[in-house]
Chains A and B, each alone.
Chain A
């Protein structure tokens, strides 16, 4: 009897849940289509017959977590609409779900698309999958994150931000504001610059964090100040041209939360901002920048005026950061162009599919602040 029960129940549930998956999933697919690929559909109806149309690409992003990727998907849609191609975007639930992403890539290869656009969560773990893609003859275009040492013939082009330059860009724009304070610093009256970095995991994230530190050291050395880097050991070890903490006039403190969540990031930010000698702080991605803003909710120390408080800056966009800039908590932030990267990714894929030759497209990080936020070349990249 027991077993009969089990049999019937299990069987029924499998069937039901699969049916639900089919049905419910269908709804969801409709939803995503409505959101993401509606235009693509209509476009296809209009120009279905156009010669260069009809390709299908699979795009795999790092996750759908942050609105950053929302912007990228819009860019992808725009390109699809223009070119009359279709693209299906998918991504793991979390930027850390490396394993899930690899399964998605393999799954995408199985579907034999005309090309794959990839923003890899982790550059090393995708190697085998890239080899598979190369063997299957499916071109891959990397966007957002470049992959060094990719297997021969797999990655055709890379559309990515130079993260080192983007990090340096933040340092360059921050330095003039706090220059006076740095100049006034002595060994006995040190000043502290904080950096809250997302976990020191991905190569691009490390590059970004280091880019800031290297540039800042360079600028400080330029005004004859010695710098020490403290905090997370990875960045401490990676930094060159530094001195011991006791000898330095300027300290760069790097905080890395145990996980990239807003609550942990804000704790790290609080720790740094609570110190009296802190003059500036930078959040290296959307989450950590929001962590800085959250911390300020309690401390109320951020200001655009160095004499009144701590100078804050961020990275990427999103509503909280845009508002922080508008109401004078952040002096500015660095944005990448997720929208353009998504757009260029599809453009490149399309060119490859048509047999045209392609090359890497480096994307810039743009500094934006209250003044240029509404500018035409900036505004589209400032997603909510």
Chain B
């Protein structure tokens, strides 16, 4: 109880992940002097935006007991289409961004129909969508990479949503504000609105939820639409952070996001999970991505560690349940 009060509304798992984050930061700072600098912090954040956004969205399907594997290839595909419209068709940047998000929602609806209406296993259905989105972007845009307008150009203002450079050259990662606001909003949605309540209910017992008179199909679908929407937002974030969108990439992004969510305590079998947890979990993954190279490990070690951390995170749950 004392612990509960000390950390306000955070749950045990979230406190634990916070602890891990702190430990990692201390360890990395101790081992690498260059790590404990302001720019590194910014770059961890930079790397985390699109993954966090994906994680916020994919938490909903995960809580319903499903999964959305299409977000990784999806976000690249949406960003490609948005960029294509801006660069090659000359539409205003705002419209391009909307197109990017809109495509995400559209694929979300598609996933939702497959899973909620047609009753396909979510894993397989979204695996198929993953393939489809992988082909879709390049197919629509002629297969070439696209560079969204750069920060310095006139129409590149959208990049400043995430990063603002002051006159004296200091970089302000205002994207984090944007992310925190979204985390709070989605946390509210999950815990205090019908959408969230029914998402948890579906993950807990879909049939019972249906018998309670809830329009299960709609809310089940909505979980995937939310996931798609955030994949679209992640597409914008990715385009804003990195120079060029390359078709054919993106496979594997979803694993960072899903892995982060799971490290943060979202259950792979549904019903359990928090947005804050997912967010913190993603930070762990990103710290590893950015931090491990700093302490002198080759980039590839990061993958091995990510795998091990993921198993460790789940094993904690398994062992706890055994007790």
Contacts and interface: CB of A to CB of B under 8 A. Distances in A.
Contacts of B147: 67, 318-320, 384
Contact of B242 (A32, A70, A266, A318): A266
Interface string B136-147: 001100111101
Interface residues of A, number: 50
A301 to B, nearest CB: 8
A256 B37 contact: no
Contacts of A94: 248-249
Given A271-B294, A290-B242, A323 B152 contact: yes
A298 B46 contact: yes
A70 B34 CA distance: 39
Interface size class of B (residues with CB under 8 A): 35 or more
B242 A64 contact: no
A246 to B, nearest CB: 15
B43 A270 contact: yes
A323 B153 contact: yes
Contacts of B35: 274
A3 to B, nearest CB: 19
Per DSSP, chain A at the interface is: helix
A7 interface: no
Contacts of B248: 63, 65, 92-94, 97
Contacts of A262: 242-244, 246
B33 to A, nearest CB: 8
A69 interface: yes
Interface string A234-269: 000000000000000000000111100111101110
Contacts of B249: 65, 94, 261
A119 B246 CA distance: 19
Nearest to A24: B139
Contact of A299 (B43, B134, B142, B303): B43
B321 to A, nearest CB: 34
A305 B306 CA distance: 39
Nearest to B249: A261
A290 B244 contact: yes
A64 B243 contact: no
Nearest to B42: A298
Interface in A15-32: 28, 31-32
Interface string B116-158: 0000000000000000001000110011110100111100000
A66 interface: yes
Contacts of A257: 299
Contact of A65 (B134, B242, B247): B247
A276 B151 CA distance: 26
B59 interface: no
Interface in A30-65: 31-32, 35, 63-65
B299 A274 contact: no
Contact of A264 (B39, B169, B241, B299): B299
Interface string B33-60: 0110101101100110000000000000
B171 interface: yes
Q: List the 10 closest A-B pairs by CB distance, nearest first.
A: A64-B143, A94-B248, A320-B243, A93-B248, A290-B243, A274-B34, A262-B242, A271-B293, A258-B299, A319-B147
26 contacts: A64-B142, A65-B144, A66-B244, A91-B143, A93-B138, A93-B143, A93-B247, A258-B300, A262-B244, A263-B242, A264-B289, A266-B43, A267-B47, A268-B299, A270-B39, A271-B294, A274-B34, A274-B39, A297-B46, A297-B171, A298-B46, A299-B43, A300-B171, A319-B150, A319-B244, A320-B244
Interface of B: 34-35, 37, 39-40, 42-43, 46-47, 134, 138-139, 142-145, 147, 150-153, 163, 165, 169-171, 241-244, 246-249, 289-290, 293-294, 298-300, 302-303
